[in-house]
Amino acid sequence: MTSAPPSGVTLHQARCPGLARENRIHPNRTQVRRKERPDIVSTPDPSRNHARKPGYEFTDMLDLPGWDEQSIWGYDEGIGSFFAQLWRNGSRSDEPEVWLSGMRRPYPWPGCVALDILEATRHDPATVTRALGISDPAARLRPAHEIAAEVAQLASHADDPYIDGKRHALLWVRGQADVCPGSRWQWNHGVPTAEQVVAEHHLVTGRVYSPEENRTICSGADEALWWALGR
């Protein structure tokens, strides 16, 4: 596993240098506006947006149970942020019930939007990532013995928040932690599936960019889950 990124640079900026530029806020985009929903397909691919990165305009349906009739998400180049608009099924309002605009608080990665959708709707993490289409089509975990060896190695580094974040995340991957690293939900289901690890990894990414979070701990968890997925 790699060491912590340089001070002031997140792991995601290191993987995508163009993200380091400042997000642009368009002065005229201050009112709610209903974005155009794309054509609906019968069975949306849960990995259709897996390769999405910041900087490329798109709008897609949000296939979330109970919210899937009108809701959308995408990336707005004008403000340099992902966004989401959610209406409960049956709503007749022009204004979305959940409006993650990216104007006052940017959403630089899909996981940032996923985290706020999770907290607004209380759907489980894997359901949210499938609805956004950001599931990994070929997700797999490293062998259990490799993860166990890494956990043991990290145990020798005490009082380091970055290492603590890594170790807790890997303990969860082994089914040995009772709180998920990204959603922070209670966990008593044993070893998670690769899809569940992918979902938690997206949510950890969201926490890395949340001003309320300990960025060092979250960055450690982000690195650990990335590694555990064999990336």
The answer to whether residues 180 and 204 touch, using CB atoms and an 8 Å cutoff, is no
Listed by start position, the domains of the chain span 13-132, 139-228
Region 220-225 average pLDDT:
98
Determine how β-strand 58-61 pairs with β-strand 72-76: antiparallel
> What phi, psi does 100 have (nearest 5°)?
-95, 90
Report pLDDT digits (tens) over 87-133: 999 999 999 999 999 998 999 999 999 999 999 999 999 999 999 99
Work out the number of other CB atoms within 10 angstroms of the CB of residue 114.
27
Contacts 24+ apart (CB under 8 A), 15-18: 16/53, 16/54, 18/54, 18/55
Band (43; pLDDT cuts 50, 70, 90): confident
Band (158; pLDDT cuts 50, 70, 90): confident
72: region left, alpha or beta (phi > 0 left; psi from -120 to 50 alpha): beta
- The Cα–Cα gap between 91 and 67 comes to 9
Q: What is the pTM (predicted TM-score) of this model? A: 0.83
